[in-house]
Amino acid sequence: MNLFKYGILSVALTLSFSVFSGEAEDKGLAIAQEAKAIDLGWKDSSAVLEMILKNQHGETSTRKMRMKSIEQKGDGDKSLNIFDSPRDVKGTAFLSFSHPVGNDEQWLYLPALKRVKRISSRNKSGSFMGSEFSFEDLTSFEVDKYTYKYLRDELVDGDNCWVVVQYPVDKYSGYKKRIVWIDQSEHRIRKTDFYDRKDTLLKTLTMTKFHHINKAFWRPQILSMVNHQSGKSTVLNFSEYVLSTGLNEKDFNKNALKRAR
């Protein structure tokens, strides 16, 4: 039995039911389930990233890193980020295990101290390496991490999108909610508004310049995160994106952090 096809079929039936029932919560959940199902099966990936940090005065600094990820059957994705430059962060590595239910697991290797630091679930709202992305932002999207509510349809750059509110289930989340724009043609996330625990708009993430990798999976080249409260921003520019490279479990453990070069 092709479980991937079966998953899409069951979600499509759920989506149709929610449309006719008019239940905003059911429709929001069905959209999230279908978007997740469509993006299954890439196995593993690697990419090169350029991280551009801009402060409130417009001054910029640039960091370069490599990213590896792998899918997990019945669990969230695993990822490893390795910094190559500048010199003061070279060799720093970040390992993340996402889980649909329960706390994610994250570790940061600091080469200057030759020490692996575990990121507490209570501290995941903290800044990742001085950027406007938090540790929480670097985990894979898992449907069970949120409850949902469909709001409306809206255009983004001329494309029809569903607008859905996602409420984190985790009490330690740094966000009260996320409002997400998902295009109806390919189920790609185009924009996300992040609201802090006081329900005030904190950040906006936009994803642009999508590429159709292996004619099967859409990936954005540019992720731009703007912090409305601090005036700072971070841009991630992806290149050399490759899927199904043959990575395995041994490439994603705490020992891999210290071996990262």
Q: What is d(CA 194, CA 196) in angstroms, rounded to the nearest whole number?
A: 7
Provide the whole-model pTM. 0.89
Q: What is d(CA 138, CA 228) in angstroms, rounded to the nearest whole number?
A: 20
**pLDDT per position as a tens digit, 216-248:** 999 999 999 999 999 999 999 999 999 999 999
Residue percentage of the chain with pLDDT more than 90:
82
Domain ranges within the chain, ordered by starting residue: 1-38, 39-259
Burial label for 6, CB within 10 Å (0-12, 13-18, 19+), is: exposed
The average confidence (pLDDT) of the chain is 90
Answer whether 11's CB lies under 8 Å from 37's CB. yes
CATH superfamily of 39-259: Lipoprotein localisation LolA/LolB/LppX (2.50.20.10)
DSSP output for 78-144:
EEEEEEEESTTTTT-EEEEE--SSS--EEEEEETTTTEEEEPPGGGTTSBSTTSS-BTGGGSPP-GG
Per-residue pLDDT of the chain (261 residues; tens, 9 = 90+): 443 333 434 444 444 444 444 589 999 999 999 999 999 999 999 999 999 999 999 999 999 999 999 999 999 999 999 999 999 999 999 999 999 999 999 999 999 888 899 999 889 999 999 999 999 999 999 999 999 999 999 999 999 999 999 999 999 999 999 999 999 999 999 999 999 999 999 999 999 999 999 999 999 999 999 999 999 999 999 999 999 999 998 899 888 787 776
Q: Distance from CA of residue 245 to its chain's centroid?
A: 20
Q: What is d(CA 222, CA 236) in angstroms, rounded to the nearest whole number?
A: 6
